[in-house]
Amino acid sequence: MPEIKPRVELLAHTPDPLSLIYAAFRQCYHAGEVADMWPSLTCGNIPREKQAEFVAKIMESGHASPIEHVSFTFAISGVSRALTHQLVRHRIASYSQQSQRYVDASNMDYVLPPAIAANPRARERYEAFMKEVGNAYRDIKALLEEDGRGFSSREDARMVLPQAASTNIVVTMNCRTMLNFFEHRCCTRAQWEIRGVARTMLRLCREVLPEVFDHAGARCERLKFCPEGEKFTCGRYPLPEKRG
């Protein structure tokens, strides 16, 4: 039952994402059929800079639905069940998660929170508990197998597994959902683990589509003030009432 670190990989994204967003925006304001424009976009006849300028101008007006036509798919591994419980609350997305019902957790990996890792006594107690969880899982699974449960013994033995248990998940989100995800999960108030994963995802999105994601992140990045209120602000940006 070793400690594990998170890994985030961009598996795929919509081809020609900026051109597709540009085409979708243009269709909203263009009398003709955008399908006739598409060959010019894909062969580079309309410069990327012109597309980016048009997209930025329309998005500044608050019209953002056309960016939903572009999606990103990530493989996220070595994260806790606590993280994925938060992740799946972002409902306009698709998820495929490793099943504890079918995957044997006898040698379960687990996530070690930094605050616990930095405290020797807390770490010792935490790791002892993880070891006991592993023993309990294996014992219960074996007893159920003796009872004839066979493969299905895993679905009941998994009940002892903690939120720290490592899991792997594939996630697909469209651009608009991702902007919302980053606003909430890149904030310093977000839980440390999902915040780290979100910031890695944002970096990968910026490499592909900087025209949409260069100014993405916590809400304060866009607003230039902290919307969390005096009780929860981290102090990076001023509160609305204290702006000069």
Q: What is the pLDDT of residues 118-145, one digit of tens each?
A: 999 999 999 999 999 999 999 999 999 9
- Same domain, residue pair 105 and 141: yes
If one counts the domains in the chain, the total is 2
Backbone angles phi, psi at 56, to 5 degrees: -60, -40
User: Could you report the per-residue pLDDT of 144-195, keeping only the tens digit for each?
Assistant: 999 998 888 999 999 999 999 999 999 999 999 999 999 999 999 999 999 9
Bridge partners of residue 165, in order along the sequence = 110
Joined together, the tokens standing for residue 197 give: 């994963």
- Domain assignment present for residue 91? The answer is no
Cα separations in angstroms, 196 against 39, 56, 189, 207: 39, 27, 12, 17
CATH number at residue 49: 3.30.1360.170
Residue 78 pLDDT class (50, 70, 90 cuts): very high
- Same domain, residue pair 178 and 238: yes
Nearest to 173 by CA among 89, 98, 56: 89
User: Could you report the per-residue pLDDT of 188-235, keeping only the tens digit for each?
Assistant: 999 999 999 999 999 999 999 999 999 899 988 888 888 888 888 888
- Domain assignment present for residue 82? The answer is no
**Domain with 158 in it:** 101-164
Residue where a domain stops, chosen among 145, 164, 183: 164
- Domain assignment present for residue 201? The answer is yes
- Same domain, residue pair 120 and 105: yes
- Domain assignment present for residue 95? The answer is no
* In the predicted structure, residue 66 carries a pLDDT above the cut 60: yes
The whole model's pTM is what? 0.91
- Domain assignment present for residue 106? The answer is yes
- Show Cβ contacts of residue 208 under 8 Å, excluding neighbours closer than 6 positions: 10, 13, 17, 72
- Same domain, residue pair 68 and 108: no
- Catalytic residue numbers read 185
- Same domain, residue pair 173 and 158: no
- Same domain, residue pair 34 and 70: yes
Q: What is the C-alpha separation between 223 and 153, in angstroms, rounded?
A: 51
- Same domain, residue pair 237 and 173: yes
Q: What percent of the chain has pLDDT over 70?
A: 98
